[in-house]
Amino acid sequence: MQFDVVIVGGGPVGLAFAGSLSGTGLRVAVVEPQPREALAAPAFDGREIALTHRSQDILRQLGAWDRIPEEIPSALREARVLNGGSPYALRFDTTGRQAAELGRLVPNHVIRRALFEALAPEATLLTGQRVTAMEADVEGARLALADGQRIAAKLVVAADSRFSTLRRLAGIDAETLDFGKAMLVARLRHTLPHDHVATEWFDYGQTMAMLPLNGDVSSVVLTLPPDEIARLKEVDGAEFSAEITRRYRERLGAMELISTRHTYPLVAVYARRFTGRRLALLGDAAVGMHPVTAHGFNFGLHGQDILARRIKAALSEGRDFAAGPVLRGYEAEHRQATRGLYLATNATALLYTSDRLPARVLRGAALRLGNHLRPVRGAIVSRLMEEDGAGARA
C-alpha cells in the first residue's frame, strides 16, 4: 500500500495531525494497535486535560471543538500552588486580562472521540495493526506490519507515546527522567464548592492536584511511591474516599469516589532528535512532559500544528513536503517552544517533591517570591493561557 503520509499512533495527536492534513490532497493513513471501536468510543481514562486558549483554537479549526458537548468543558479560573503545611498559596488568575479563564478542562477520552468524529473520510485507518520494522531512504519510507503487510510513504510520523516503538526502530535516543513515583487519577464528588480553582499541593510525602470539574466534582491527581499507588487503586471505594478526604485535609469537605481509578508511571521523555530521514516525531514521542505544568497535551497539539503548517507551505510552493529542510524547520520551531519549559518543569518537580530541609526552605521562599514578582507571575500566566498564541495563528 502506498501513501503520502503514514501516522503511527491513533491517539489525539495522531488524529489531530491527520485532520490538519485534510484538504491538502495527500493520501494519509493512521496505523493504530487498538480496534476501530476503541477509537470511535474511547473509554474514560481518568485524565482531565487543561486546554490552553491556543489549543482550543486548534480544536475549533479541526472541527473537533464543536463536537464536544457544551456542558462538558469546565472553566479553570484560578490556579493555586501550596507547599507543605503552609496555608500560603502562589496564585495565578486572569486579573487585568480580557479572558475570564486560564483555560478549560476537558476529559481526554472526550477529546479523542471528538477528533475521531472530525476525521476526514479520505483518511485511511489501519486499526489492530502494529509496526514491526521500518527502513527509509531519500525516496521514502517503508513499514512492515505485524500481519505481514508492507506499506510505503513519503513521510512517516511517530505519534505512538513517550515509549515510542517507531522512535526506537529509527534509532533515535531520548533523554528519560524517571521520577520514581506513580500517579493515580479519579473523580470525586465533594460537599464544599471548588469555585473553579485548581490546586497543586506539594505536601511532604505526597503531591496532590485537584482539578475543578463542573458541579461539585473534582479530579484528584495523586503522586506517591508506586506501591502506595497500587494499594490505593485496590482498596474499596469507601476507604478510598475517606483516605483522599483525609489526605486533602477536608479542604473540599467529605469526598466520594464517583469514577474508576487509573494509574500512570511518572517518566519524562525528550527525544534527542525530532526528525530523521522521511520521519518526524510528534506528541509524547517527541516530548513527554511531567504533568505538573499541564503542558504535555498542549505541546502535542501545537507540534502537529507546526508540522502541518510547514508541510502545507512546502506544497503551496511546489517543494518536497517531506524533505530535510521542511522537517528541520519543524524540529527547530518545536524544540524552541518546548525545551525551556521541559527543563523547568523537571527542575520544579524534583525540587517540590524533595523533603530534604534545604529543599523545604527553598520551596517556601520560591512561592512567596513568585507572588511578589508580578512580571514573572504574569509571564507564567501568559504561558498557561496562550491566549496570544491563538490570535497569532488565526
In a domain, 116, yes or no: yes
Q: Name every residue whose Cβ is closer than 8 Å to that of residue 138 and which is 6 or more positions away in sequence.
A: 277
| CATH number of the domain encompassing residue 291 | 3.50.50.60
Q: Containing domain of residue 23, as a range?
A: 2-74+106-176+268-355
Question: Hey, which of 65-74, 87-96, 377-386 has the most confident mean pLDDT?
Answer: 65-74
In a domain, 362, yes or no: no
In a domain, 190, yes or no: no
Q: Which of 153, 138, 121, 154 is nearest to 314 (CA)?
A: 154
Q: Which of 295, 377, 309, 371 is nearest to 340 (CA)?
A: 295
In a domain, 189, yes or no: no
In a domain, 381, yes or no: no
pTM across the whole model = 0.91
In a domain, 181, yes or no: no
pLDDT of the residue at 373: 47
Q: How confident is the model at residue 9 (pLDDT cuts 50, 70, 90)?
A: very high
In a domain, 294, yes or no: yes
pLDDT of the residue at 357: 54
In a domain, 214, yes or no: no
pLDDT in tens, 173-212: 999 999 999 999 999 999 999 999 999 998 989 999 999 9
Mean pLDDT of 8-14: 97
pLDDT of the residue at 23: 94
User: How many structural domains compose the chain?
Assistant: 1
Chain-centroid distance of CA 94 in Å reads 22
Angle formed by the axes of helices 53-61 and 296-316, nearest 10°: 50
